[in-house]
Amino acid sequence: MMFEEQRRRMVDLIASRGVKDRRVLEAMANVPRHLFVPEEFRPLSYEDKPCPIGSGQTISQPTMVALMTEQLELTPQSKVLEVGTGSGYQTAILCELAGSVYSIERLSSLADAARDLLKQLGYSNLTVRVGDGSAGWPEAAPFDRIAAAASAPLLPEPLILQLAEGGRLVLPIGAAEGQTLVLVEKKEGRVTARDLCKCLFVPLIGSHGWKEGSITEIDELKEEGRD
């Protein structure tokens, strides 16, 4: 009951900060965020802040998860690529709203833990694999929607190529010390990008992102992603 009340207050806070999509708010109310947070941080599960999940990664701030998800404009038919499974929390939100979710995580320990928990929670419209998220998932493409919970120095070309016509992609772009959350749309073969807000995410490590060891890691308690 304690967590249920805290989760309700979290959703109320998210709504007060401008997220209006009813389905997104319902998904945030349905997913038990505390199960995706390490035991020692569970009292902080429903505060509007990121939490460490190990391996130098974080579970994203709830308002950021809601904002990114709302911008995707998901439908029950959407086929989604998630870059950066992390704890699996945003993965669960996507599974609540989309038809199918493909999630890539470069760290096998996180991928395995997230896969097990999501299976326990009953999500069957999901495939998780270990790999380079910056390269996407070409054999499963195209995707109606793509969400990246880690920051790239530039827009990764493979993700654009794997975005379906009429698709939407949300990801943070910028330097290690700060990024901009960007919405990318593909219409009639043309790609447009629009800035949404300032943000701070962990780096997207990969062949089309940051090279391993090329940037200084940010204090994980200050980061807003990745999930």
Closest CA to 54 of 129, 118, 121, 111: 111
Tokens of 108: 């096998």
Q: Note the helical H segments in 1-137.
A: 2-16, 22-30, 62-72, 89-97, 108-120
Catalytic residues: 60
Q: How much of the chain is helix, strand and coil, in % rounded to 5?
A: 35, 30, 35
181 phi and psi, to 5 degrees?
-75, 125
